[in-house]
Copies of this chain bind each other. A is one copy, B any other.
Amino acid sequence: ATHKLLLLAGDGIGPEVMAEVKRVAQWLEQAGLASFAIEEDLVGGCAYDAHGAAISEDAMVRAKAADAILLGAVGGPKWADVPYEARPEAGLLRLRKDLQLFANLRPAICYPALADASSLKREVVEGLDLLIVRELTGGVYFGEPKTITDLGNGQKRAIDTQVYDTYEIERIAAVAFELARTRRNKVTSAEKHNVMRSGVLWKQVVTDLHARAYKDVELEHALADSLAMQLVRWPKQYDVIVTDNLFGDILSDLAAMATGSLGMLPSASLGAVDAATGKRAALYEPVHGSAPDIAGKGVANPIAMIGSLAMALRYSFNEGAVADRIEQAIAGVLASGKRTGDIAAPGMETIGTEAMGKAIIAE
């Protein structure tokens, strides 16, 4: 089958790392391993520059028609002063919301060859393999009211609203329990039920669903602040962590950084499976950001972006064998000692974005 892939390279290092995805996709086609119908469009600051909005209506139509979307990164200091509604991040947030990509899967894996790149001790991160399942279409990211009001006398009031309904918590918890069954069978659910009403409901819904349908999976509850601590102290105690949109934002970045493999990690944002077609909307992107400080220099690590293509092949296109080949090629390149600057030990020789892309193809 030909897979309809939409590439949204975005800002900063996005276009550079996406160029390597195109190189790999082209190679897969030439080798007869996969067939793609690739479209490209803008998202983020570059879309604002072109259209005055962080994503155009046209791009939204294409996004809805695609089998999968690959996104590079959005944002940068250049757009610090654009109107709030048009800021680069608004393009990504609209994709998540309009396509109902409620399940954000963020694996935090420590590549053995990179265990020394972490600021954590080797024995703390070696062999680490956990998965953060973050709710992505609810919570304080989208709740209303979300306003700034002028109170007069130089005073303003800002309001953000965290809203969660039972069904939103249930569907993300179900994703976490299902994934745990394919892994080490343990789920840790994080919230702040001691301070937040949404935390109380979160804990209750997860507990109820567990008792009803997933008693075979080990379930543990943690407060988000305490989990942040434990992720630094001894992260290997976790298998699957399920949490809300805002805590997931922080905890997944934290876990990724702890592995020492930040430039290596892809993520998947998935919608519900359509009962009629069996399809689900899906967007794949690196966990790292647009890294404006190194953009345009040809030194960014393309592995998280290429790994995002592998994730798309596995989860959206049912091409697990091809995904395996890409991931093995990445492991092989690392084992051979090739490194971009972000994952190189001090004194090690480094290669650029393009050379890394080509090395992966050569493998």
Contacts and interface: CB of A to CB of B under 8 A. Distances in A.
Contacts of A167: 155
A254 B232 contact: yes
25 contacts: A84-B200, A87-B194, A93-B195, A119-B120, A119-B232, A120-B120, A147-B197, A148-B197, A151-B166, A154-B166, A156-B166, A157-B164, A158-B200, A158-B201, A159-B162, A159-B163, A160-B162, A160-B196, A161-B161, A192-B246, A224-B249, A224-B250, A228-B250, A230-B257, A232-B257
Contact of A165 (B120, B156, B166, B250): B156
A5 B165 CA distance: 45
A140 B162 contact: yes
A75 interface: yes
A196 B160 CA distance: 6
Interface string A131-150: 00000000011010011100
B161 A194 contact: no
Contact of A253 (B93, B166, B229): B229
A307 to B, nearest CB: 19
Nearest to A201: B158
Interface of A: 75, 84, 87, 89, 93, 119-121, 124, 140-141, 143, 146-148, 151, 154-167, 192, 194-198, 200-202, 224-226, 228-230, 232-234, 246-247, 249-251, 253-254, 256-258, 262, 289
A155 B159 contact: no
Contacts of A119: 120-121, 124, 232-234
Name the residue in A84, A87, A228, A262 with the highest tally of chain B Cβ atoms < 10 Å from its Cβ.
Answer: A228
A71 to B, nearest CB: 15
List of 4 A-B pairs having minimum Cβ-Cβ separation, nearest first: A158-B201, A229-B257, A158-B198, A160-B162
A165 B151 contact: yes
A254 B229 contact: yes
B89 A159 contact: no
Given A119-B124, A226-B253, 14 more contacts: A87-B194, A119-B232, A119-B233, A140-B162, A143-B159, A147-B197, A155-B165, A158-B162, A161-B161, A224-B249, A224-B250, A225-B250, A229-B256, A229-B257
Contacts of A159: 143, 161-163, 197-198
Contacts of A201: 148, 156, 158
A247 B247 CA distance: 9
Contacts of A197: 84, 146-148, 158-160
A177 to B, nearest CB: 19
A253 to B, nearest CB: 4
A228 B254 contact: yes
A247 B195 CA distance: 13
Contact of A194 (B89, B121, B233): B89
A59 B161 CA distance: 33
A342 to B, nearest CB: 11
Contact of A161 (B124, B162, B202): B162
Residue picked from A87, A119, A198, most chain B C-beta under 10 Å: A119
A131 to B, nearest CB: 18
B146 A157 contact: no
Nearest to A90: B194
A231 B161 CA distance: 27
